Structure 1
Amino acid sequence: MRDMIDLLDIKIDVVFKDFFGDKSSKEILESFINAVLGLEGDDRIEVEEFLDPRKMRVEVRKPSAFVDLSVKTRRGERYIIEMQTYNHDGFDKRLLYYLGKDYTEQIEYHYHQPISSKNSNDKKAKKMIGWADLPKVHILAIIDFHRSQGEKNGILNHHEVVETYRFKPEISASNEHIFDHWKATIVDLKKFKSKPVNKLKTDKEIWIHILNNAPFLKEEERELLKKDPIFQRALERLEMLSADPKTRKAYEASINDQRDHLAVIEAAERKAHKEGEANKALEIAQTLLKQGLPVNQISEATGLSSEEIESLR
């Protein structure tokens, strides 16, 4: 009996891209998208092409950032798949940027040599994608951070694990076919309540469970999941990536980078909190001084030194 391979966390970017972005295993990504979005029958998508994610580069700040995956379906629709493990300012606007950029990228010229012409001096014909041919674009963002119960970064936060946001016309419902061209779906991993593998009822639940718990799956749980052909293929691919020394090295480097980034964010938040508390104490001390309270009493009430209070006079 061979030793069981410790599985890597799919949520880490280098694993996520390799796991879902393998062209020879596109049925894994198809299964994930169809399950999470609840697409059935004729609505199910088939991936025709993996697009270059570098076209979706964000240059607002350095270093540049790219989307994790971008694909085109057989019906011509576009799907952007993004994994985000920490919150950051403007997360909602970043999703809108991706949607808009992918949509407008389609308006471009394509040059080709006319088939009927054998004369190399003939001018190349010019073909442009028509406005009516612009494809639907759907961004699927998987997030692994806590959102507030109300509104966070402009994104309304409801109780569902999977939330889809559509752009709807304010006045006439007859224009919904236009506004339906852009959609954004958020898969909130933090909202998913873990349960035993044998209690998972749908492919959507299984996929979210694997995303949340891949490193902790026991051997018997893996074998149970592998009874389904698609999850057998998925777990075997993850085992292959997890056993690859190069992938493991990149994985560990990515985790260290993420920890460093989170440490910087937490330090900045602590500093902001500390400065906010200090400003609050100074405001209270200023008020108490105006009311004529002795410096020693103000010091006890605010925690400020006598010198700091005297400087407010």
Structure 2
Amino acid sequence: MKAVLCRQYGPPESLVVDQIDVPSAAPGNVVIDVKACGVNFPDTLIIEGKYQFKPPFPFSPGGEVAGVVRAVGEGITYLKPGDNVFALTGWGGFAESVLADGFKTFPMPAGMDYTTAASLMYTYGTSYHALKQRAQVRSGETVLVLGAAGGVGLAAVTLGKLMGARVIAAASTDEKLALCRQYGADEIINYTTQNLRDRLNELTGKRGVDVVYDPVGGDLAEPALRSMAWGGRYLVVGFAAGPIPSLPFNLPLLKGCSVVGVFWGAFAERQPKENAQNVRELLDFWQAGHLVPHIHATYPLEGAADALNEMLGRKVMGKVLIVP
């Protein structure tokens, strides 16, 4: 089978497409023929050795897939060859087939297409865990979403609205903000042309925001933290801007607010029952027509470097996918 391989750490251009053996189904595992694989920011980190997980070489990036079960290992009784599924793989998804853990593989609902199924887990899974478990968002609260037009950001905009929050979307271009409006943002801020803190003061009457959803980091972190309401929750989701910010710790003291880490992959691993419940609720949202992933572009395996560079260049609005 064909696979995009990382043989040594480096930029997207260092990846190669080569032939490797189709994986075998070990006990507790499922082999999936990949029809679509989501491209996510961690994929840009894992190929440079900057992510929490460091698979042995050679490996393929790609942590969420949708496809057809090719084979099941011993102990897997709830799936069979031919089933349509989506799965969390961590890595390995930029390939024609991938090995997945059975407990991280879910049947696709009737009527769901592969690109949608491969767009749900990282973006909506991360954002729902962040807003539900980590921030415990309540109806009527105000949620600021930074990087709001990206995959996890747009998911946070949608889910924040579904949970009854007033959502303020912040992004770097008017085009991105127009998309956020389409996905339910109540207010928008262009932080390239507007001062983030001044605009938040205007929109909240200087009260501040209850929740900050931050997948960006960098220079936006401190003004966002300074704009929090009393008892607020600052969600540390990622660092798409590159630099990891150093925040003054007197601010959480003065505002009585919390800085809360969001590591959805570890949550799914450590609390599989709670994660499975989240997935069921997300599928309910999808079946009710509330979740409609915005597909920015699809690429073949040979276009993996282009897809990852789009992500690194922060050009992606919504979701990018590899379609083998």
Fold conserved between structures, TM > 0.5: no
Q: Which has the higher strand share?
A: 2
TM-score w.r.t. the length of structure 1 is 0.32
Would you tell me which structure has more helix in proportion to its own residues?
Answer: 1
Report the TM-score when normalising by structure 2: 0.31
